[in-house]
């Protein structure tokens, strides 16, 4: 899906994608584990927002998942799980709606929980 995205010239994500483009998924995982720039960027972003940011020494439960369309299948990538999770068929046209349906299932587990954020990487604003 990279062909649909534009990256800042020196962004950690752009550098990661360029540096790992010829690697296997396993090699990318090892590279990602050692890449401090993505970890620092993630932690910095996770601590921004409308609520008071915790101190840097405080333990926080930082967690993210991503949804991707690979070969017409909707995959959930969760760093805490050993393998991607397939949620079924999707298309370029239905990807957003399909991912939203999975998010609704997550939200239904605990309707009172408000500690989550959804971000879409998109060329166009919606």
What's the chain's average pLDDT?
A: 83
The rounded percent of the chain whose pLDDT value lies above 70 is: 83
Exposure of 14 by Cβ count < 10 A (0-12 exposed, 13-18 middle, 19+ buried)? middle
What fold, for 63-126?
Dna Ligase; domain 1 (3.30.1490)
Q: List the end-to-end C-alpha distance of the chain, in Å, as a whole number.
A: 18
Would the pLDDT of 53 be above 70? no
pLDDT given for residue 89 in this prediction:
98
| Residue ranges of domains in the chain | 1-57, 63-126
pTM metric for this prediction: 0.52
What span, in angstroms and rounded, lies between the C-alpha atoms of 69 and 48? 28
């Amino acid at each position: 899906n990279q062909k649909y995205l534009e990256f800042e010239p020196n962004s950690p994500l752009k550098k990661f994608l360029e540096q790992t483009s010829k690697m296997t998924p396993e090699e990318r995982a090892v590279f990602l584990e050692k890449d401090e720039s993505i970890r620092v960027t993630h932690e910095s972003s996770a601590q921004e927002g409308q609520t008071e940011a915790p101190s840097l020494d405080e333990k926080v439960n930082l967690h993210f998942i991503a949804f991707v369309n690979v070969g017409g299948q909707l995959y959930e990538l969760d760093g805490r799980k050993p393998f991607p999770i397939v949620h079924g068929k999707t298309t370029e046209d239905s990807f957003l709606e399909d991912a939203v349906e999975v998010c609704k299932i997550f939200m239904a587990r605990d309707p009172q929980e408000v500690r989550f954020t959804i971000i879409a990487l998109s060329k166009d604003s919606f």
